Chains A and B, each alone.
Chain A
Amino acid sequence: MSESLVEFRNVSKHFDDYTAVDNLNLSIEQGEFIALMGSSGCGKTTSLRMLAGFEEPSEGEVLLRGKCINHLKSYQRNTPLVWQTLALFPFLSVVENVEFGLRMQKVAKPERRKRALKWLDNLAIAEFAERRVDQLSGGQRQRVALARTLVTEPEILLLDEPLSALDSNMVVHMQGVLTELQRELGITFIYVTHSQSEAFAMADRVVIMNEGRVQQIGSPKDLYQRPNNHFVAGFVGKNNILGGQYKSEHNGIWVLAGNDGDYKIKASEAEPADRSAATDFAISADRVFVSRTVNSDFDNQFLCRLKGEEFVGSAVVLYLETESGEQIISLVTQAQMEVLGDLKKGDYYAHWQSDHCHIIKP
């Protein structure tokens, strides 16, 4: 087995009687862009802080290039972090901020000035070199913070919600800057965020955490199309979660007895679920289509009433209710809306393909 750049091995972190991280196992490869995502208190930041050396694991080991770094101080690791608050030094100029890491490595002044200026140039902020940090805009400060961590040419960069203080246009712009930078440098980025759009737009792999535990690790596409438990299905995108008792199987299609009749789902080839227990599955809202009549192209058809609609720009979210009172949401494009006509009156059929259903663990 080849050696991972970073490995968390059975790592837990307790604060008094609170468990911030619970038995984390994660390998991160050289050159990977990985995002740790979850809502606040899920343990993502604590995990990052253990890697940066600000917290020591209560149990387990953090390995960097196969060596346990549990007891190394932060300054012995070279795992620079871009802070949520940026934590730029207000009493130093921009270029002095960027030089800081080199100054700590006792690099001679002309040399470190040269290297700092090169990084400012790479990030297109060379013109502000002599300014004070508080004279810069949010996006410019962001770049200073990046230059300051990259100047020591680390093989790994940690980012803790670095874009959370920027307005939305700037966030999208900086996402581009970060992705490009990561590709260019080929170093590992570990990016902590609560924002799905940031994680999914940039990362090769996303780790979804909740209450200190990893819920699922996968590519953005994987997580989106195949959430493997209730939490991920509820957290990522817009999913309908339905369920029923296993009845029969035919050509890899399972039939589940649900409240509104039979659900047909394609059994997951990866790990077969327990057939005796009630089975839940997720169907993404954009895979649920709505029409006036039965459409035999789809193998799941349910009669619904419209409860509400929500306009979300290019699409509309329809809130539907089946005869048994089950809630179903459907994401419909504006073009499809026009075909449907006036929605206020009458009944509809919600339909979807068994292929798009995905069994989830409780």
Chain B
Amino acid sequence: MFMKLKTGVTLLDDMLKGGLETGATTLITSKPFTEAAPLAYQIAYRWLNTGYPVIYLTNNKRPDIIMEDVKRYGWNLVKFKDEGMLVFVDAYTGFMGIRSEERYTVLNPYNLDEIDGTLLKAVNDVGKRSLIIIDSLSTMLDHFGEIVVEKFEEWRRIAILNDSHILYIFVEWNFEEGIKRRLRDRVDNIISLSPIEKGVILSDFFTIEKVGGKPIKPISIPFRYVRPGGMKVYIPKILITGPYHAGKTTVVHALSTRAVSVQRGETTVALDFGHFEHKGFQADLFGTIGQQRFDPILEQLGGETLGVILVVDSTNPSSFPRAIEMLHKARVYGLPLVVFANKQDLPGALPPEKIRELMKLPKDVPVIGTIATKKVNIIEGIEELLKLIFKGVSEGDADNS
């Protein structure tokens, strides 16, 4: 009877083993400088588009503001609202003393029973297989304290009886550890959102901590919210390195939707920079310089790298030791690595397996024959790298199956 619905974020769906299941509950928990609401919008939009209703309880902003905010991400909810597929339970405007336009309005939002009752009425009216979003649990805890945690079992029953899914939005202000632990214990899935900080906040990542009631080995995936577009998995940096004249610049350009190179003649003298977008993935590409006199820059570029493409000239085995040396200099040895055995179209090019042998590369490093000038195997190559970077995802599953 229960079914699974996708969130619309491919990697998240993989980690959740297919999406969010009805009859279950999910906690999206975020650090105070990271937003959870856009992810909830994305899931809501997906749910509605699949043909099932969404009930959105808000206690910290007006429903029309939410509609407007969602629109900025490129999703129009008006149609769904007009059709009655999307309903708001307005537990906010009561605080402001303004009259609400919504059918389900909590007149006194300081009364938890009234919130509860209004929500239940909406759930009964709207029917089964709905997604119930509670935005936010943290505000509820601020107003009512720990008693909210006691409600969890009751709400969970509602989810099961109505074959629905409840999504709690929770911001981790300094709540008591005990409360946080009890919240975490009482939900089926936990998606946590945290920033990557280096003084300022550079980026965010999400982690799935629990699926189907079982904790899983946490794996962190960097993401960005894009307007329009919503949550996009984002890789801060992929380094493209290799000896002089191996074809790095051509690879960067072949992969990039936009790219910049600083060159003198045919040789890159500063760096290549590109941006890569493919199947919902985004990455910044940094190409290094092959000549030895630029080695000091290598180490600088290596920082924050999540994955490496090593480009070698398949016709020039004497450059292979230099290729390995460059990995060490960039301090990226041990990171996910794919070797592009480039210039496969030229006479005398060694086959990928021969190159693996000569470079003494471990079995788990893919060596891919490429022709960068003709874009042959370039996309396939970076897909291999992405698989390695996100390999932990399937491993996490395997550990618990």
The answer to whether A and B come from one shared complex is no
Chain A residues in the interface with B (C-beta under 8 A): none
Chain B residues in the interface with A (C-beta under 8 A): none
